Chain A
């Protein structure tokens, strides 16, 4: 893959690896901390700083890692974590330029899944949410899927009006990348769509659009 922009400075709040999401409504997912679990096989899917969670797992339990199939999407971290992941010696490391590009592979791997497969998801909410949909559609029980949020707190948003998905939304409000309406960011989340809901912000006062504010600021 080609090199992308260098990683952003990791000390900025939004890229902090251990960001604590504020308490929210009951449809909003909550994430845990990956732990090694006994299983027949191990599938790990991560993007960007999600690699940090996998590397910690590798340091805690090299045995599980040595049998793992990893699908990793570096996004704007470029090569930062790739060599370290390779050095941790997973059975298979597939580095993909985007989630969309690895989706056929992910589906193919999940089609082979047997009882005892453990799934580990790490990184952004959008990545974990979409991979969760694939895993559960493939019949993997929730109890065999773990998640750990790392990196950007950007959201994957569905426009409730045009149904288009806008990836990596960092501000509230934001402009729908499909229909161009300015949408406010709700905490209401659909696991089926792996997306939060965006709703027109100026429906009752057309043109009255507040300045975008970075999420969680």
Chain B
């Protein structure tokens, strides 16, 4: 497999685009025509060939541009990457997990050569060929977590497990749906989810925590989460909200299809071997509404989901102001026909949009 990496931006002129390949493999998050919170966990043991679920750490056409964007964010605000002192070993665990997975899953892009603790890591797309000593911090230019996550798409929360809880004690967070690592670092599972409406009362977090505490080595899990973002802005951080919030007011009936993006997080969970920490990669995929509706099933379904979403969720997800505009746009792509079960595009079997 050869990936053609895009040269694109996630800020200022927003040249980000999804190719037809990326649209077809987009992780559409709705398996039915409505949405409510659930503990939608499943095992992360591959998926259909070419899908974003196939590999442990999906690499796609946005890789190099996302890594450039991450470097820009970190230069502006180093607090987006932090690790409490007891989390260094978990950082090495994470470095090992990613290097082993990527070199096995993408041998044409990444190589890992190990001779005892003398390791050589080759990242061809980023032009890195680096020899270092495993578990020796002094042989890397950054801490181990920062080093490897500057080379891996998605945010990373590294969770310490103690007192029957998970503690967000380290992370690399530059593509977040409006939460602050700097504020949340050190919090337990219930505390960092505290601002989420409805889900606590539904018992979602108790059940999710119980599941996550029992994730075993070699048996990672995954789920999807989603929100909406105006413009393909990866760094929707609270830190910069006073700069990007205004973009929410720039939607018009003419530009909503191009500017409004569905933002989906592929969240995965891996137990780490030495530290017993849990790493929680949060991989962000963006797609413009005009590209979503190019898949007839997804256009019909997204209209129904957004139209019927409880107002608390639309508010929490930050698009309640623009919902009427979004629903109006999407309604053009909902002819009322039934949709097939499941998240897949089903391009061959679902009927095209009935006009009129």
Interface residues of A (CB under 8 A from B): 25-28, 158, 160-161, 163, 181, 186-188, 190-193, 197, 199-200, 203-206
Residues B241 and A190 in contact, CB atoms below 8 Å apart: no
- The one of B182, B191, B241 that contacts A26, using a Cβ cutoff of 8 Å: B191
- The one of B79, B190, B200, B321 that contacts A163, using a Cβ cutoff of 8 Å: B79
Residues A191 and B241 in contact, CB atoms below 8 Å apart: no
Q: With A158-B183, A199-B241 as given contacts, are A205 and B249 in contact (CB-CB < 8 Å)?
A: yes
- The one of B180, B182, B238, B245 that contacts A204, using a Cβ cutoff of 8 Å: B245
Q: With A26-B191, A26-B200 as given contacts, are A181 and B186 in contact (CB-CB < 8 Å)?
A: no
Could you mark each residue 181-200 of chain B with 1 if its beta carbon is under 8 Å from any beta carbon of chain A, else 0? 01111110011111100001
Give every chain B residue within 8 A of A27 (Cβ-Cβ): 187, 190-192, 194-195
B204: min CB distance to chain A, Å: 13
A133 to B276, CA, bound (A): 26
Q: With A203-B241, A203-B246, A204-B248 as given contacts, are A160 and B194 in contact (CB-CB < 8 Å)?
A: no
B239 interfacial contact with A, CB 8 Å: yes
Residues A160 and B187 in contact, CB atoms below 8 Å apart: no
B274 interfacial contact with A, CB 8 Å: no
Give every chain A residue within 8 A of B195 (Cβ-Cβ): 25, 27, 186-188
Q: With A163-B79, A181-B242, A204-B248 as given contacts, are A26 and B183 in contact (CB-CB < 8 Å)?
A: no
Of residues 41 through 96 on chain B, the ones whose CB sits less than 8 Å from some CB of chain A are: 79
Residues B239 and A206 in contact, CB atoms below 8 Å apart: no
A39 to B15, CA, bound (A): 64
- The one of A28, A200, A206 that contacts B194, using a Cβ cutoff of 8 Å: A28
Residues A204 and B191 in contact, CB atoms below 8 Å apart: no
How many CB-defined contacts (below 8 Å) exist between A and B? 66
Residues B242 and A190 in contact, CB atoms below 8 Å apart: no
Give every chain B residue within 8 A of A197 (Cβ-Cβ): 180, 183, 238
Q: With A27-B191, A160-B180, A206-B246 as given contacts, are A192 and B241 in contact (CB-CB < 8 Å)?
A: no
Q: Of A158, A188, A191, A197, which is in contact with the most chain B CB atoms at under 10 Å from its CB?
A: A188
Give every chain B residue within 8 A of A181 (Cβ-Cβ): 242
A161 to B195, CA, bound (A): 18
A181 to B241, CA, bound (A): 12
Give every chain B residue within 8 A of A158 (Cβ-Cβ): 183
Per DSSP, are chain A's interface residues mostly helix, strand or loop, or mixed? loop
What interface size band does chain B fall in?
20 to 34
A124 to B245, CA, bound (A): 33
Q: Of A26, A161, A191, which is in contact with the most chain B CB atoms at under 10 Å from its CB?
A: A26
Give 18 new A-B contacts, CB below 8 A, not counting A161-B241, A200-B245, A203-B241.
Answer: A26-B191, A26-B193, A27-B191, A27-B195, A160-B238, A161-B238, A161-B239, A161-B242, A188-B195, A192-B185, A192-B187, A197-B238, A199-B238, A203-B243, A203-B246, A204-B246, A204-B249, A204-B321
Q: Find the B residue at minimum CB distance from A188.
A: B195
A57: min CB distance to chain B, Å: 29
Q: Of B193, B194, B200, B243, which is in contact with the most chain A CB atoms at under 10 Å from its CB?
A: B194
Q: Find the B residue at minimum CB distance from A162.
A: B239
B8: min CB distance to chain A, Å: 26
Could you mark each residue 130-174 of chain B with 1 if its beta carbon is under 8 Å from any beta carbon of chain A, else 0? 000000000000000000000000000000000000000000000
Residues A193 and B183 in contact, CB atoms below 8 Å apart: yes
Q: With A26-B194, A27-B192, A27-B194 as given contacts, are A200 and B185 in contact (CB-CB < 8 Å)?
A: no
Residues B241 and A188 in contact, CB atoms below 8 Å apart: no
A161 to B243, CA, bound (A): 10
Q: With A26-B194, A188-B194, A204-B321 as given contacts, are A163 and B245 in contact (CB-CB < 8 Å)?
A: no
**6 sampled A-B residue pairs with Cβ under 8 A:** A27-B190, A160-B238, A181-B242, A188-B183, A188-B195, A204-B249
Of residues 213 through 251 on chain B, the ones whose CB sits less than 8 Å from some CB of chain A are: 238-246, 248-249
Closest 8 CB pairs of A and B: A203-B245, A27-B194, A200-B242, A25-B194, A27-B191, A192-B186, A26-B194, A160-B238
- The one of A163, A190, A204, A206 that contacts B187, using a Cβ cutoff of 8 Å: A190
A192 to B167, CA, bound (A): 12
Q: Find the A residue at minimum CB distance from B247.
A: A204
Q: With A203-B241, A204-B249 as given contacts, are A190 and B194 in contact (CB-CB < 8 Å)?
A: no
Q: With A26-B190, A27-B192 as given contacts, are A203 and B182 in contact (CB-CB < 8 Å)?
A: no
A193 to B246, CA, bound (A): 28
Give every chain B residue within 8 A of A200 (Cβ-Cβ): 241-242, 245
